[in-house]
C-alpha cells in the first residue's frame, strides 16, 4: 500500500512540474506579445495586444498556482483532502485564481467586443458567470464553516501543519538571507 501511495505522490509531483512548465511557456508567450507591441509602437491595436498579453499572463498565473497548490497539498503535506477544512482551502486557492483569470478574459472580450459590438453579449455573459462563481464560492465557504465546527480537530490539525510548514520556510529564509522573519498572527 505504501508503494501505491508513493506512486500517487510521484504522479502529483510530475503533474505539478508540468503545470509549472506550462506556466513558463505561457509567460514566454506573454513576453513575446508585449515585446512585439513595444517594438511596433503603440496604436489602436496595441491596446488589444497588451490586454491579450495580460490574459496569457493570467493563464500562466493559474497554471503556476495550480502547480503550487498540488505541491503543497499533495506532495509536501502528503495530506488527504477529506475533511471540510482541507476541501475549503483547496477549492478556495483554486477558485480565486480561476475567478481572476475569467474576469481578465471578460475584460479582453470587452476590448475585442468594441470591434464587433454584437460580441459584447459574450463578454457580459462571461462576467455574469464570474459573478455566479463568486456567489457560489462564498456560499460554499459559508456553509462549509458550519461543517468545520463539527470537526474542530481537523481544523486544529490543518493549522498546526501550516505553522510547521511556515516554520520550515522561515528557517530556510533565515539561512538564505540571514534575516529574522516577521509574521503576523
Cell numbers representing residue 167 in the block: 516554520
Whole-angstrom distance, CA of residue 100 vs CA of residue 68: 17
In the chain, which stretches have pLDDT less than 70?
A: 78-85, 147-148, 150-185
pLDDT tens digits along 82-123: 566 677 777 787 788 788 888 888 888 887 777 777 878 888
pLDDT in the model for residue 83: 62
In the chain, where are the structural domains located?
Answer: 1-78, 83-178
- Kindly give, in sequence order, each residue whose CB lies less than 8 Å from that of residue 65, ignoring residues fewer than 6 positions away: 93, 94, 97
What is the end-to-end Cα distance of the chain in Å, rounded? 39
Whole-angstrom distance, CA of residue 60 vs CA of residue 54: 10
Helix (H, G, I), strand (E, B) or coil at 154: helix
Amino acid at each position: 500500500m505504501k508503494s501505491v501511495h508513493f506512486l500517487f505522490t510521484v504522479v502529483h509531483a510530475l503533474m505539478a512540474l508540468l503545470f509549472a512548465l506550462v506556466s513558463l511557456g505561457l509567460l514566454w508567450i506573454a513576453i513575446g506579445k508585449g515585446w512585439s507591441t513595444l517594438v511596433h509602437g503603440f496604436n489602436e491595436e496595441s491596446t488589444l495586444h497588451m490586454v491579450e498579453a495580460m490574459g496569457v499572463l493570467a493563464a500562466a498565473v493559474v497554471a503556476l498556482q495550480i502547480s503550487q497548490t498540488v505541491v503543497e497539498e499533495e506532495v509536501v503535506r502528503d495530506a488527504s483532502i477529506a475533511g471540510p477544512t482541507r476541501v475549503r482551502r483547496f477549492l478556495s486557492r483554486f477558485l480565486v485564481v480561476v475567478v481572476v483569470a475569467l474576469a481578465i478574459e471578460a475584460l479582453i472580450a470587452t476590448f475585442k467586443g468594441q470591434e464587433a459590438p454584437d460580441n459584447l453579449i459574450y463578454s457580459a455573459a462571461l462576467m455574469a458567470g464570474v459573478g455566479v462563481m463568486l456567489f457560489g464560492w462564498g456560499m460554499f465557504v459559508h456553509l462549509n464553516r458550519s461543517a468545520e465546527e463539527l470537526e474542530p480537530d481537523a481544523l486544529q490539525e490543518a493549522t498546526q501543519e501550516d505553522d510547521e510548514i511556515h516554520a520550515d520556510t522561515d528557517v530556510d529564509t533565515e539561512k538564505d538571507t540571514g534575516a529574522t522573519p516577521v509574521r503576523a498572527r
